[in-house]
Amino acid sequence: MLPASDLSHALRGLRFAQAIHVHQQIGSTMDEAKALTEAGAVEGTLVLAEEQTAGRGRGGRAWLTPPGSALALSVVLRPNLRAEHAAWLTMLAGVAVCEAIEQTTIVRAALKWPNDVLIGGKKTAGVLIESALRGDELEYAVLGVGVNVTEAPPPEAVDYPATCVQAEAPQPVDRLALLRSVLARLEARYAELNSDTMFTDWRARLTTLGQWIEFREGAETVVALAEDATMDGALVLQLESGTRRRLFAGDVRGIRSRTLTTQ
């Protein structure tokens, strides 16, 4: 990555690069961004790292950021948002990262519910939102984005198919151009947080819809058809029994081999 002075030049004019904190190596950009937020950092403060030694993903899983191979960033948000709508931040970030990949390369990106960014069915990027509440409102949120740009995690380190943007793109990927595009698309989508467009665009990118999926619930593995998604970010499922239910959080795995049994 460029030195901080060149980075601020490359990211000039972006609301989501109001103040830029660049680290060659850090535990997690999420922790640094949270500490800055709690010390009063303005919305749009950006924390970037070349390498994370304790990067994290959803569900407390580790997220690998080997030096110089990825985008690892966290942005401070102070949205005027009720806590029940926090999932909108995840949706907007997933859509924005897909759009940035498509703008910077010519590959098509999609989403696996709720927020895994896929190229060719393999995970390429992830989004993590961590927030603090004040009453029913979000006091702040830290939006984290990790993109595998030139290296994918080794298969033994993850339990899903993974890739990196460079492996899927026909041209060399410019990491700085991708960074600028991610930030630009995030702020554009953030500006229309309350709109139907954001939900419609998120839903349209969800490859999970129409798939048979399975997920763990306690000791059980539940199998269901992912029929639809709702404005609050939930998946609408039809269970094998025919019963419908919603899933608000968790990890789902697509399984294509089942057929619907009706009783």
Rounded to the nearest whole angstrom, what is the least distance from the CB of residue 243 to ligand BTN in the complex? 29
Nearest-CB residue for ligand BTN: 126
d(CA 161, CA 123): 6
Rounded to the nearest whole angstrom, what is the least distance from the CB of residue 168 to ligand BTN in the complex? 17
Q: Which residues contact 68 (CB under 8 A, 6 or more apart)?
A: 1, 50, 51, 150
Rounded to the nearest whole angstrom, what is the least distance from the CB of residue 54 to ligand BTN in the complex? 7
**CA dist list (Å): 11 to 77, 106, 154, 182, 214:** 18, 22, 31, 11, 41
- Smaller CB separation from ligand BTN, 79 or 146: 146
Asked whether the bond before 114 is cis by omega within 30 degrees of 0, the reply is yes
- Smaller CB separation from ligand BTN, 117 or 173: 117
Amino acid at 82: R
Rounded to the nearest whole angstrom, what is the least distance from the CB of residue 74 to ligand BTN in the complex? 5
- Smaller CB separation from ligand BTN, 71 or 138: 71
**CA dist list (Å): 59 to 113, 158, 177, 227:** 14, 13, 30, 24
- Smaller CB separation from ligand BTN, 120 or 242: 120
**CA dist list (Å): 67 to 17, 25, 153, 243, 261:** 21, 8, 12, 47, 49
Tokens standing for 177?
């151009």
- Smaller CB separation from ligand BTN, 79 or 114: 114
- Smaller CB separation from ligand BTN, 53 or 194: 53
Q: In which element (H, E) is residue 237 found?
A: strand 235-239
Q: Which residues in this chain contact ligand BTN in the complex, by CB under 6 A?
A: 28-30, 52, 55-58, 61, 63, 65, 72-74, 116, 126-128, 144-146
Rounded to the nearest whole angstrom, what is the least distance from the CB of residue 59 to ligand BTN in the complex? 7
Rounded to the nearest whole angstrom, what is the least distance from the CB of residue 125 to ligand BTN in the complex? 8
